[in-house]
Every structure is written in C-alpha cells, then in structure tokens.
Structure 1
Amino acid sequence: MSKVQSGSAFKWMLWISGIVLLPLLIGLGLWQLDRAEQKQELLDSWQQAIPSQELPLEQEMIRGSYKAVILKGVFDRERYFLLDNRVRKGRAGYEVVALFTADSGRSVLVNLGWVLASLDRGIIPEFVLPEGQQTISGSVRVIEKGFALSADDLAEERWPKVIQQLDAEKISSRLVISIDALELRLTEPLVSGLDLNWPVVNMKPEKHLGYAFQWFAMAFALLCLLIWSALKIRKEAIYEQV
C-alpha cells in the first residue's frame, strides 16, 4: 500500500471512528450528569425529609428518594434477616432487617443497622429485638430488586436467615403476611452494637461529575482531531488543485 493510500485509509478510519464514538462519549457524559443529579436528589430527600406518621400510600411517589416517617407498632422478635456482603470502610458485614407491623396494620421491613461479620462465616450474629410497643423513626425507600449471585433460600427453618438482597414479595410469601415493598432505615438506635452510619448513595454526585468531565474531555479531544483532519484534507485538496 502506498503512502497516499495509507493516509487515505487512516483518514477514513478516523472519520468513521469519530462518527461512532463522538455521540457515544457525549451520551456517556450526559448520563453521568443525570446520575449526579439523581444522587443529589436522593441525598437532599434524606437530609430534608419532614417526618410523617403514615407509611407512603403510593410507592411510585417516593421511588428514587427517601421519606421520613415516625411509626408505632411491634417487631417480630423471632424472625429477622441478615443482609450479607454489606461493606463499610473495606470491611464486610451484615445489615440486620426485621419485620415491623405498624398500628395501622401495615407491615414494613426495618433495617436496624450494620454489624461487622466474623472471619468465620459459620458464626452468625444474633440479636435480641425490642419487645412490646415501639415508636421508631427513620427514612423509607422503595425496595428495588437488584442482582444477586445466588438465590436466597427462605425455606430453611433456621433464624436469622442470611440473604443477599431484600425481596418483599418472597419474604411476604415465606412469612405468610402482606409486606409493603419498603425498607425503613432507622435514624435512632434500637439495638446495641449496630451501626446506623448509613451510606445513602454508593457514589457521591461529585464523582459522577468527575466521570462526566472525563467523557466530555475525550469527546472534545476527538472533535479537535476531526477538525484537524478536516483542515488537513482541505489543505491537501487546495494544494492538488494548484
């Protein structure tokens, strides 16, 4: 292949790559900006929520946000769950989740906090849940189904049960009780030894903005390269005409 043919092939490859990659890079940057906005709204809803004495009637109204509530009711003291693989500051642990039935008759899953896991995975932490009528406060979110490496075995009779993710439908079926697809994270401690320092979001808005800047920077660099290529092609065309 001659130098002219090689240069022409490179220019074609550059333009084809630019046509494909430029919109993709811009789209990724815009997506990161959108994620940053969503995370900021989530943080704002956690910090600024005004407590209500009723569980949200419409789950869609709080999807992607938190709603503060104050509830009166009782815990199921015999049956609770340990959410596995909850990492904080590089340390693996469990989140303790119990069933709470409010005076209104509605039931919700209450996250009582985080506990460090033992190096021996055969050792399961056990707790004594509060007895009798309780007044609890916290922030409620809609339980979103996520990815799990394996299906949770809820048929086993042993309690507490170690699970990978919250699934209100499966838990309702196992406990033979109607449970709202809501998780309440406590703001005041109820059980000794549990950490309530909640990670509201897994990635802060600032980090999403940083990623957005990187995608836009790459898009800008590619655009500059395309402009340079276009100017060079034009210069060569004028030179050939002369």
Structure 2
Amino acid sequence: MQYSQHATPHRSSRVAQAFRPGLAPTLVVLALLPVLLGLGCWQLSRAAEKRTLLTAAETQRQQDPISAAELERLPPRSYVRVRLQGQLDAEHTVLLDNRTRDGRAGVEVLQPFYDRAGHQWLLINRGWTAWPDRRVPPRIDTPDHDLLLDAWTYLPPPATPTAPVAGWPRLVTQVDAPALWDQLGRQGLPLEIRLEPGDAALDTDWPIVAMPPERHVGYAVQWFALAFALTGLYLYLGIRRARETSNHDRHDSA
C-alpha cells in the first residue's frame, strides 16, 4: 500500500516532465477543438437530413398521381404527384431568373394552368430554358390545346413582398403564387407545380436538394481532419517543449 501511494505522484511527475504544452497552446486547443468537432458532427447530421429528405421525396414521387380536386383538399406540401388536364395561359408567363444548368444562364418558365376537371387554377413550372442573350427575350413555345400533364407539387421558400412588376412576360427572382393570383384576380392554389418529362415540359432535371449528402460528409471529414491535425500539433509541441526544457535543465546543472 505504501508503494502505491508513492507511485502515483512519481508517475504524474514523469508525465508532466515529458509533456509541457504551455498555457497559450492549451487555451487555443480548448477553444478550437470543440468547435471543429461540433462542425463535423453538424455536417454529418445535415447529411442524414438530406438522405431522409431524398428518400421521402422519392417515395412520394413513386405514388400514383391524384387529381387537382384531391390536391385542393390536402394541406400544402411538396412532392405530391398530380395529374392535370386543361390548358396553359401563355399570356401571363413568369420567368424565374438566375437559374443555371451546366454553367449556362437561363430561366425557369412558369405559367398559369386551368384544370378543367377540378375547375382550379395552378401555377405550372414547365422547367428550365437557356437565355444566352439578355437583350432578346427568350423564345417560349406554348401549346394552345388541352394537355394531360403529370407533375408534382413544390413549396418554394417564403417570398419577400415586392412591388408588382408591370408587363408580360414577367421576370422575377422568387416564386409567389398567392401574389400572382391576387394580381390576376383568380382563385388558385398557393403551390408551384413542377412538370415531369412530357407534353409542354422543358428541361425538368429538378434538384431535390441544393447540396447532396456526399458533400456534407466531405465537409465533415475536413473538419475532423482539422481537429486531428490540431490535436497532433498540440501533442508534438508539448513533447518538444518538455524535451527542450529537460535538456536546458540538464545543461544548467552541468
């Protein structure tokens, strides 16, 4: 028992002599290491959220489409498949600006659509089209006959109230279906309806998430790598400083 009581202080003393990081590096590590680890864990949680969102969206989009009348009775949500029959309103075209595909500038084309079966107006997003020359309006061909369309709902981010823009086609930077129906004096659903490939569809390669889960995982690896490097540097400096101090003490004693 006496041996164990004296061994612990002796062992602690040897550890202290072998590792002397200093106060400033210790404070830096204590401040930065939790931040780096927290950011890495946050990126992993974001990756898990994106996977859940992608799975839910794919599950919804594999369901059988419902009618506009059934859609009207549901609470607004994204990724509900719908089947519509009616006609597009080419006179009130909305161009959603600042949309790029494969490095090319363009717009998304939205037009009111009247569903005859449900007697309901909906805002249809036909997809993306290139707009290389901003001096010339993009050429948009709109079918003038009845269409049978398959599409799915999308809830855009809340729009910031802005002053109405005169003239058509109307160039906007955000989708605001309720404001459009108010301006047109129509009763319509407060949703954006995105077309699936088919009649009247343009480029409908819709991204479900802006950043895929794999990129979040990559960012998490970077944060954890920084945390590992910081810890390694802290240990290296602590051991090196302890050795330098020990050599200096031996030199002084000699």
Aligned mates of 1:127, 1:52 — CA distance in 2: 27
Aligned mates of 1:106, 1:144 — CA distance in 2: 23
Please list, as runs of the form range in 1=range in 2, the aligned pairs for 1:79-158 lying within 5 A after superposition.
Answer: 79-102=92-115, 103-119=117-133, 121-145=134-158, 154-156=164-166, 158=167
Aligned mates of 1:107, 1:191 — CA distance in 2: 17
Q: How far does residue 86 in structure 1 lie from its aligned partner after superposition?
A: 0.7
The answer for the alignment partner of 2:211 in structure 1 is: 203
* CA distance 1:203–1:180, change in 2 (3 Å): same
1:188 aligns with 2:205: no
Q: Which has the higher helix share?
A: 2
User: 1:194-219 deviations in whole A, cap 9, x for unaligned?
Assistant: 22222333222211111111111112
Q: Which runs of 5+ in 2 are unaligned?
A: 1-19, 250-254
Aligned mates of 1:223, 1:178 — CA distance in 2: 61
* CA distance 1:171–1:16, change in 2 (3 Å): farther
Aligned mates of 2:31, 2:185 — CA distance in 1: 53
Q: Secondary structure at the match of 1:195?
A: coil
The answer for the alignment partner of 1:66 in structure 2 is: 79
Q: How far does residue 106 in structure 1 lie from its aligned partner after superposition?
A: 4.2
The answer for the alignment partner of 2:55 in structure 1 is: 44
- Residues 106 and 131, structure 2, Cα contact 8 Å, conserved in 1: yes
1:11 aligns with 2:22: yes
Aligned residues: 222
The answer for the alignment partner of 1:4 in structure 2 is: none
TM-score (norm 2): 0.72
The answer for the alignment partner of 2:44 in structure 1 is: 33
Structure 2: which amino acid aligns with 1:25? L
Aligned mates of 2:243, 2:190 — CA distance in 1: 65
Aligned mates of 2:127, 2:192 — CA distance in 1: 12
* CA distance 1:97–1:11, change in 2 (3 Å): farther
- Residues 172 and 178, structure 1, Cα contact 8 Å, conserved in 2: yes
- Residues 51 and 70, structure 1, Cα contact 8 Å, conserved in 2: no
* CA distance 1:90–1:30, change in 2 (3 Å): same
Name the Cα RMSD after superposition: 3.2
Q: Which runs of 5+ in 1 are unaligned?
A: 1-7
The answer for the alignment partner of 1:55 in structure 2 is: 71
Q: How far does residue 231 in structure 1 lie from its aligned partner after superposition?
A: 6.5
Q: Secondary structure at the match of 2:91?
A: strand
- Residues 97 and 110, structure 1, Cα contact 8 Å, conserved in 2: yes
- Residues 75 and 130, structure 1, Cα contact 8 Å, conserved in 2: yes
Select 2:90's aligned residue among 58, 67, 77: 77
1:220 aligns with 2:233: no
Structure of higher CA gyration radius: 2
Structure 2: which amino acid aligns with 1:99? P
Aligned mates of 2:159, 2:37 — CA distance in 1: 28
* CA distance 1:85–1:173, change in 2 (3 Å): same
